[in-house]
Amino acid sequence: MQIIRHHMQDYPDSVIEQEAIVSEILTDASQSTLILTEHPPVFTIGTSGSEQDILHREIDGEEIAIFPTGRGGEVTYHGPGQLVCYVIADLSAEKDLHKHVWRLEEMVIRTLADFNIQADRNPRGIGVWVNDLKIAAAGVRCRKWISFHGIALNIHPNLKHFSGIVPCGMHDTPVTSMHALGCEIDRTAVENTLISHAKTLFSTPL
């Protein structure tokens, strides 16, 4: 698995980058890839979402961009302090998107465990939860069994920005972050741990 790290990347640029890697994998010109990045504040609308789930574009005097995207899921927020993990993977051998989403969640669950945060899945929806608060949102897209997009882990984003949307269709906005839970860790430490789990999970058949 190749690893690409960006300090900060505009959301549309990240989609272009992923699309290019998908095309390369389809022609055997590239391999499975993990992209780690952050985005300037943006609300993204998945294939099950709509602009009706965007309540406010301006929060604390900051206007947040809106970008319709081809990933599954509804409306979510990306912004500084959130580690976005895009996994571009060839699923043609197993053809099981549910297993892929499980791996994405498990990658974050194991990472959080290394920082003494007990996280799990929740019947309310895909992603990673701590008690009844979502700490990581997942959404993927698949083209000819090449999966892209991924999962976003809240390390220390501005949680007020989530008030501008109905995140993942949940009107009570049940979101949290590592810092909100008392784990004041930096992105580099989280990245290094997550990369280790990613290499294990995405290189070993379930």
pLDDT in tens, 118-130: 999 998 889 999 9
Residue 204 has what pLDDT? 59
Round the average pLDDT of the chain to a whole number and report it.
Answer: 93
| 206 part of a folded domain | no
What CATH number does the domain containing 182 carry?
3.30.930.10
| 126 part of a folded domain | yes
| List of residues 6+ apart from 13 with CB closer than 8 A | none
| 162 part of a folded domain | yes
Q: What's the pLDDT tens digit per position in 64-103?
A: 999 988 887 889 999 999 999 999 999 998 899 999 999 9
The catalytic site residues sit at: 168
Band (pLDDT 50/70/90 cuts) for residue 29 is: confident
Share of the chain above pLDDT 70, in %: 99
| 196 part of a folded domain | yes
Domain count, the chain: 1
| 24 part of a folded domain | yes
Regarding predicted confidence, which is higher, 157 or 74? 157
Residue 206 has pLDDT above 60, yes or no: no
* Residues 22/146, Cβ–Cβ less than 8 Å: yes
| 53 part of a folded domain | yes
Angle at 6 between CA 27 and CA 39, to 5 degrees: 105
Q: What is the DSSP letter of 49?
A: -
Q: How far apart are CA 108 and CA 177, in angstroms?
A: 12
Structural domain of residue 134, as residue ranges? 2-201
Residue 51 has pLDDT above 90, yes or no: no
| 182 part of a folded domain | yes
Band (pLDDT 50/70/90 cuts) for residue 171 is: confident
pTM of the model: 0.94
* Residues 140/149, Cβ–Cβ less than 8 Å: yes
| 58 part of a folded domain | yes
